Amino acid sequence: MKIPSSIWTLLIGILLTLSSLWYGQNHGLLPTAATDEAVLVDGLFNTMMIVSTGIFLLVEGILIYSVIKYRRRADDLEDGPPIEGNVPLEILWTAIPAIIVLGISVYSFEVYNDIGGFDPHSVHEAPMIQESMTMPGAAIAATLSDTPPSIGENRNQEKSDEAMEDPATAAVRNADQIPQKRNAPGVGSVAPTIGGSPEKAALPAELRVNVTGLQYAWIFTYPDTGVTTGELHIPVGREVEINMTANDVIHAFWVPEFRLKQDAIPGRQSEIRFTPRLAGTYDLICAELCGPYHGAMKTQVVVETQEAYDAWMQEQLVASSETLKQAVAVNPADLSPDEFLSPYTRDMGIEPEMLHHMHHQSVE
C-alpha cells in the first residue's frame, strides 16, 4: 500500500516540530541561569534555537533527499525536465522567513524592553545640533565635550556626585580628573541603564553597590556601610543596583550566568540591575580588551543567603575597624603604605598591585 505524499508531509512535519522543540529546550549551550533577567534572555534564546533547528533539519533533509532521489543513474543520458518555476511556492518560502524574522524581532524587543534596555523618552530628549556647524565632526565633538546646559542634562555628573558622597567610593574613583559627559542620546553619550524593568525603574533597588573598574581589577564599595572589597557579595532574592564607572579605559561588567553585560566607561556612569535567584559563586569577567593583562581581570560574585550575607558584611566591618586600629598603632616608619597594608588588604580580597596602581593614578 502506497502512503499518500500528504500523509508523509504531515508525519515529517510532526517529527521536525517535536525534534526542534526538544533540542530548543535541551541544547545545554548556556550556563546556569542565576538571575530573574536570565530567564527572560534564555526564553528568547531557546525560541531562536527551536526555529533554527527546525529550519536546519528541513533544509538539510530536503538537500539529502534530493541528492539521493534525483542523482544521475549510470544509464541515464537524458537532460533533466525543464521547470519554469512555481509562483505560489516562491511566495510561500519568502513569506514564511519574513514572518519568522518579524516575530523574533518583536520578541527580542519585548525582552530588551523588559530588562530596561530601551528608554523611549531618551529619543525625544536628544539634543538638537545646530545647523551652522558645517564641519563633519564639529557637531558630534561639541555635543560630547561641552554641550550647553540648555541642550543636554548631565545625568552622568549627577550620578557621579551621588556615588562620590560615599567616602569609600570617593577614595577609589578619580572622577575629579575625568569630566563627566553630558547626556546626548542622539550621539551615544548617555548614562546607560540596563536590567531594571520599567515597573521597577522608578523604585530604588534593595541593595546598591558602587563598582569601579581599573587596570586590571574591580573594586566594590557598599555606600550603606562603607565597606570596600575586591569581590562582590550579594544576597539572593534581592534586587541589586550596580553603579559603575572606570578610572582609565573602557571595561565591561559581565557575569555569564546573569545574562547581562554593561560597559564601565570613563566619564560616564553606567547602571545595571538584576535580581539573583540562585546561590553560588560566579566569575565576573571583563569583556572589553582593556590592556595587556586584560585576561587576568577577573574576580568572583558570591550570591548567598541573607543570613550569610549579613554575617559576611559584619565580618568586613569588624575587620576594617580592627585593621585600621592595628595600622595606626603598629605601622613602623620604614615601611611604605603599600608594603605595610598588603597583608591586611589581601584578607579583604584586594591585591597589593591594585593599591599600587591606584596610588600611581592619584599621583598622576
pLDDT in tens, 122-161: 444 444 434 333 434 433 333 334 444 434 567 788 888 8
Give the residue from 57, 80, 115 where a domain finishes. Answer: 115
Mean pLDDT of 326-345: 55
Let me know whether 351 and 261 are in one domain: no
Give the residue from 85, 115, 145 where a domain finishes. Answer: 115
Q: Could you tell me if residue 235 is inside a domain?
A: yes
Let me know whether 276 and 347 are in one domain: no
Distance CA 317, CA 305 (A): 18
Let me know whether 227 and 247 are in one domain: yes
Let me know whether 256 and 347 are in one domain: no
Residue 267: per-residue pLDDT:
86
Distance CA 360, CA 364 (A): 6
Let me know whether 279 and 349 are in one domain: no
Residue 135: per-residue pLDDT:
39
Let me know whether 307 and 348 are in one domain: no
Most confident of 91-95, 109-113, 346-350: 91-95
Q: Could you tell me if residue 137 is inside a domain?
A: no
Amino acid in the structure at residue 296: A
**Which residue from 244, 230, 246, 362 is spatially nearest to 299, judged by alpha carbons?**
230
CATH of the domain at 212: 2.60.40.420
Distance CA 54, CA 345 (A): 54
Let me know whether 226 and 276 are in one domain: yes
Bigger pLDDT: 67 vs 122? 67
Q: Could you tell me if residue 38 is inside a domain?
A: yes
Mean pLDDT of 56-64: 93
Q: Could you tell me if residue 29 is inside a domain?
A: yes
Q: Could you tell me if residue 85 is inside a domain?
A: no
- Residue whose entry in the numeric block shows the C-alpha cell 550603606: 224
Per-residue pLDDT at 289 exceeds 80? yes
**Model confidence band, residue 208 (pLDDT cutoffs 50, 70, 90):** very high
Q: Three-state DSSP class for 345?
A: helix
Angle at Cα 204 formed by Cα 266 and Cα 247, nearest 5°? 15
Q: Is the bond leading into 216 cis (omega within 30 degrees of zero)?
A: yes
Q: Could you tell me if residue 343 is inside a domain?
A: yes
Let me know whether 346 and 281 are in one domain: no
Per-residue pLDDT at 351 exceeds 70? no
In total, how many domains does the chain have? 3
Let me know whether 291 and 341 are in one domain: no
Let me know whether 341 and 215 are in one domain: no
Let me know whether 219 and 102 are in one domain: no
**Model confidence band, residue 201 (pLDDT cutoffs 50, 70, 90):** low
Residue 325: per-residue pLDDT:
53
Q: What percent of the chain has pLDDT over 70?
A: 72
Q: Could you tell me if residue 86 is inside a domain?
A: no
Let me know whether 342 and 315 are in one domain: no
Residue 128: per-residue pLDDT:
43
Most confident of 23-27, 143-147, 165-169, 335-339: 23-27
Neighbour count for residue 133 (Cβ, 10 Å): 14
What range does the domain containing 231 cover? 191-325
Mean pLDDT of 226-231: 90
Residue 53: per-residue pLDDT:
94
Q: Which residues contact 354 (CB under 8 A, 6 or more apart)?
A: 214, 217, 219, 230, 345
Do residues 360 and 177 touch, judged by C-beta distance below 8 A?
no
- Tell how strand 207-214 and strand 217-222 pair up: antiparallel
Distance CA 289, CA 254 (A): 13
Q: Three-state DSSP class for 31?
A: coil
Q: Could you tell me if residue 234 is inside a domain?
A: yes
